[in-house]
Amino acid sequence: MCNQPVLFELQDVALSRGGREVLRDLTASLPEGASCVAGPSGCGKSSLLRLLNRLADPDRGSVVYRGRDVREADVLELRREVCLVPQLPSLLDGTVADNVRYAARLADREANVERLLDLAGLDASYADRDGSKLSVGEQQRAMLARALALEPDVLLLDEPTSALDESARDAVEATLVHLRERVSVSTVLVTHDLDQARRLSDWVVRLDVGRAVEQGHVHDLLPA
Amino acid sequence: MTGTIDVTLAQVAATLALVAIAIGVSFWQRAGLENEIAVAVVRSFVQLTAIGFVIQVIFDEDTVALVVVLIAVMVLFGAFTARHRARRVPHAFWPLLVALSVSAIATLGLVVALGVFEPEPRFLVPVGGMVVGNSMTASAVALNRLGDEMHDSAHRIEATLALGASATEAAAPFVRRSLRTGMITLVDSTKTTGLIFFPGTMVGMLLAGAEPVDAVRLQLILLYALLGSVAIAGLISVSLAYRSFFTPAQQLREQPEP
């Protein structure tokens, strides 16, 4: 077992979407630090991630965050503390700075836009750019900056590089590594790429057809 | 102010020549609207004749209670009809019913309270009919847009929820756009009225022999009243309807394909 405190504990979780059971009898732990949910496409990784900040609730079973069932928490406060960065570009209309400030306002914070962009690997010139005119990779970074404006304890990253080419992927990965060196934040990464799981996380839960088939230290489960 | 005009059935029948042109165009261009046009003509004749008799009874009785019954029935049918335009909005009937009811009550109440019209069936019936009709159209268009927005932008809405925004905050841009879409047709037609087209009330009064100034003033009263009623109906319908897309835990509900 990991020697880090447990961040999330999922117990006998089942979830259906569109009449199809996407998670079944899923039991897994995710520790503080950098962890990862890995598995092939359609195995339920993103569905699992949505349970962690209550974008969805399981049909059965429980999701516990730092010792407390997520359903006992104020859902809006939970989402500001456990913030999900989605897979698809999902910026609101307006500039990158508008998006960052919007998130900061939700958490009653002042946004240091320049610093947040820097953390997400964007220079200050992006602040006034229209979010919809950015490349997919730039939008991913802008969404990361927006999430960081909440000063979350946990970042849930849903396949952040799935739509990127190799060089853009490497740049985003470097940003994420750098981010964890500069900001105290735990990350839960969802990816189908086992090499990426190895590069970006210490702990991995492997999913297959909606079940956690194994979990442990990345070096034990995914040796180089 | 106004005279009366006698219209014979023969005159009505004569205008069927223009309906024949419409059917001919549809047939010639293979638009496939011949049956639809025929049904529309028959329905309009039957429905308007029937409502003409109903209105005659209400005018003869001269009681506001019958006006209330008539407008309640129109609101009910309006909500049913508009619901079909808003198929992607779950349980759209109730927001529409509330929106049309409040719009009718508020608009008629205000025009009477402001002394624009006397609380008599002769005024309340036609104005009520226009208010319900325009409110129904605006609400249906607004909810149709809302349904499309909520489906097409589901990932953006969920991304905003994921930041800790409430359902109200996450839906706000789409609610705004839907309301605007519902109102814009009437706003645009109000802007161009008199330049590009003559609105129905004014045309009716001119045909009936009224002085143009009187016809214009009455038309302005109705246009301004309709702007208010459409705004009320649009706002209430979208403000109630967007909630059906979310759970009490501020989650976006799974949305079935239409």
CATH architecture of the domain formed by A6-90+152-221: 3-Layer(aba) Sandwich (3.40)
**Confidence check: pLDDT of B197 > 90:** no
Going from the C-alpha of B97 to that of each of B111, B139, B233, B241, the distances in angstroms are 21, 10, 10, 11
- What's the CA gap between B141 and B138, in Å, rounded? 5
pTM of the model: 0.86
Q: What is the DSSP letter of B245?
A: G
**Confidence check: pLDDT of B5 > 80:** no
Contacts of A107 in chain B (CB under 8 A): 164
Per-residue model confidence as pLDDT tens digits over A35-62 = 999 999 889 999 999 999 999 999 999 9
Best B163, B174, B252, B255 residue to mutate vs chain A (most A CBs within 10 Å): B163
Partner residue facing A86 (CB), from B155, B164, B173: B155
Q: What's the pLDDT band for B198 if we cut at 50, 70, 90? A: confident
Taking CA atoms, what residue in B is nearest to A90? B156
Per-residue model confidence as pLDDT tens digits over B68-83 = 999 999 999 999 999 9
> Number of CB pairs < 8 Å for A and B?
63
**Confidence check: pLDDT of B1 > 50:** no
- Decide if A18 touches B, using CB distance below 8 A: yes
- What's the CA gap between A196 and A210, in Å, rounded? 21
The pLDDT score that the predictor gives to residue A153 is 94
Looking at residue B164, its amino acid is G
- Decide if A117 touches B, using CB distance below 8 A: no
Contacts of A84 in chain B (CB under 8 A): 159, 162
Q: What's the pLDDT band for B3 if we cut at 50, 70, 90? A: low
The pLDDT score that the predictor gives to residue A164 is 81
Radius of gyration of chain A (CA): 17
Radius of gyration of chain B (CA): 21
User: In the β-sheet with A6-17, what is the strand arrangement from edge to edge?
Assistant: A20-31, A6-17, A60-65, A68-69
Q: What's the pLDDT band for A170 if we cut at 50, 70, 90? A: confident
The answer to whether A90 contacts B160, with C-beta atoms less than 8 Å apart, is: yes
Q: For the packed helices B34-61 and B64-85, what is the interaxial angle rounded to 10 degrees?
A: 160
- Spell out which chain B residues touch chain A, with contact meaning CB-CB distance below 8 angstroms: 155-156, 158-166, 169, 173, 249-252, 254
Contacts of B161 in chain A (CB under 8 A): 55, 79
Per-residue model confidence as pLDDT tens digits over B166-192 = 999 999 999 999 999 999 999 998 998
Per-residue model confidence as pLDDT tens digits over B218-255 = 999 999 999 999 999 999 999 999 999 999 999 999 87
Q: What is the mean pLDDT of residues A154-168?
A: 87
Mean confidence (pLDDT) of chain B: 92
Partner residue facing A93 (CB), from B159, B161, B173: B173
**Confidence check: pLDDT of B153 > 60:** yes
Q: For the packed helices A136-148 and A96-106, what is the interaxial angle rounded to 10 degrees?
A: 30
Q: What's the pLDDT band for B6 if we cut at 50, 70, 90? A: confident
Q: What's the pLDDT band for B2 if we cut at 50, 70, 90? A: very low
The pLDDT score that the predictor gives to residue B149 is 95
Partner residue facing B251 (CB), from A56, A93, A102: A56
Q: Based on the number of CB atoms within 10 Å of its own CB, is B92 exposed (0-12), middle (13-18) or buried (19 or more)?
A: buried
Tokens 């010139």 sit at which residue?
Answer: A125
**Confidence check: pLDDT of A204 > 60:** yes
